[in-house]
Chains A and B, each alone.
Chain A
Amino acid sequence: MLLSGSDILVKTLIEQGCETVFGYPGGQFLNVYDSLYKYQNEINHVLTAHEQGAAHAADGYARTTGKVGVVISTSGPGATNLVTGIATAYLDSVPMVAICGNVPTTQIGTDSFQEIDITGVTLPITKHNYFVSDVADLADTIREAFRLAKSGRPGSVLIDVPKDVQIAKCEYEAEAPVECDEPFAAKEVRIKEAAEIVNSAKRPFIYFGGGVITSNAQEEVLALAEKIDAPIGCSLMGLSAIPTDHPRFLGMQGMHGHYASSMSMHNADVILSLGVRFNDRVTGNRTKFATGAKIVHIDVDGSELNKTVNSVCGLRGDVKLTLQKLLPLLNEGTKHDWMAKVDSFRKEEETYLDHREGLTPRRAILTLNKHLGENTAVCTDVGQHQMWSAQNLSFRTPRRFLSSGGLGTMGFGFGAAIGAACGTKERSVLVTGDGSFGMNLNELATAVRYNIPVVILIMNNGVLGMVRQWQTLFYNKHYSNTVLECKTDFTAFAKSFGADGEAVASPEELDMALSRAFETEGPYVIDCSIDKDEFVLPMLPPGGSMDDIIVKLEVEE
Chain B
Amino acid sequence: MSRYTVAVLVRNQFGVLNRVTSMFRRRQFNISALTVSETETSELSRITVVFGGEEIAKQQLINQLYKLPDVCSIKEFSEDNSVSCELLLIKMKNEASSREDIRNAADAFGAVTVDYSKDYITFRLADSSRKIDDFINLLREYTILEICRTGSVSLEKGSTTIRQIINL
Contact = CB atoms under 8 A, between A and B. Distances in A.
Contact of B67 (A119, A120, A301, A305): A301
Interface in B71-92: none
Nearest to A144: B69
Interface stretch (A122-130, A167-175, A344-352, A454-462): A122-130
Interface string B59-76: 110011011111000000
Task: Classify chain B's interface size.
Answer: 10 to 19
Nearest to B65: A303
Nearest to B63: A303
B60 A127 contact: no
Contact of A303 (B18, B19, B64, B69): B64
Contacts of B14: 131
A448 B67 CA distance: 41
B69 A127 contact: yes
A127 B69 CA distance: 8
Contacts, number: 30
B56 A306 contact: yes
B66 A123 contact: no
B26 interface: yes
Contact of B66 (A119, A302, A306): A302
A526 B52 CA distance: 57
B22 A303 contact: no
Contact of B60 (A119, A123, A124, A303): A303
B8 to A, nearest CB: 15
A284 B96 CA distance: 66
A310 B59 CA distance: 13
A157 B154 CA distance: 33
Interface in A268-314: 301-303, 305-307, 310
Given A119-B15, A301-B67, A302-B63, A124 B22 contact: yes
Contacts of A124: 22-23, 26
A307 B69 contact: no
B67 A303 contact: yes
B19 A307 contact: no
Contact of A123 (B18, B64, B67): B18
A148 interface: yes
Interface in B16-54: 18-19, 22-23, 26
Contacts of B68: 128
A310 B54 CA distance: 14
Nearest to B61: A303
A120 B15 CA distance: 9
B58 to A, nearest CB: 11
Nearest to B56: A306
A123 B22 contact: yes
Given A301-B67, A303-B66, A123 B59 contact: no
B162 to A, nearest CB: 19
A57 B29 CA distance: 35
A87 B23 CA distance: 15
B60 to A, nearest CB: 6
A148 B69 contact: yes
Nearest to A128: B69
A277 to B, nearest CB: 13
A306 B70 CA distance: 24
A302 B67 CA distance: 9
Interface string A504-548: 000000000000000000000000000000000000000000000
A95 to B, nearest CB: 15
Given A303-B63, A306-B59, A307-B60, A123 B19 contact: yes
Contacts of B67: 127, 301, 303
Contacts of B60: 303, 306-307
Contacts of B66: 302-303
A302 B65 CA distance: 11
Interface in A125-140: 127-128, 131
Interface in A358-409: none
B15 to A, nearest CB: 7
Nearest to A301: B67
A148 B68 CA distance: 11
A120 B14 CA distance: 12
Contacts of B19: 123
Contacts of B15: 119, 131
Interface in A452-500: none
Contacts of A305: 63
Contacts of A307: 60
B23 to A, nearest CB: 8
Contacts of A123: 18-19, 22
Contacts of A303: 60, 63-64, 66-67
A128 B10 CA distance: 14
Contacts of A128: 68-70
A119 B70 CA distance: 15
Nearest to A153: B67
Contacts of B59: 306
Contacts of B69: 127-128, 148
Residue picked from B14, B22, B59, B69, most chain A C-beta under 10 Å: B69
A293 B70 CA distance: 38
B104 to A, nearest CB: 50
A306 B60 CA distance: 8
B52 to A, nearest CB: 19
A120 to B, nearest CB: 8
B56 to A, nearest CB: 6
A131 B15 CA distance: 10
A144 to B, nearest CB: 8
Nearest to B68: A128
Given A303-B63, A303-B67, 13 more contacts: A119-B15, A123-B18, A124-B23, A124-B26, A127-B69, A128-B69, A148-B69, A302-B66, A303-B60, A303-B64, A305-B63, A306-B59, A307-B60
Interface of B: 14-15, 18-19, 22-23, 26, 56, 59-60, 63-64, 66-70
The 4 lowest CB-CB distance pairs between A and B, nearest first, are A303-B63, A128-B69, A302-B63, A124-B26
Interface of A: 119-120, 123-124, 127-128, 131, 148, 301-303, 305-307, 310
22 contacts: A120-B18, A123-B19, A123-B22, A124-B23, A124-B26, A127-B67, A127-B69, A128-B68, A131-B14, A148-B69, A301-B67, A302-B63, A302-B66, A303-B60, A303-B63, A303-B66, A303-B67, A305-B63, A306-B56, A306-B59, A306-B60, A307-B60
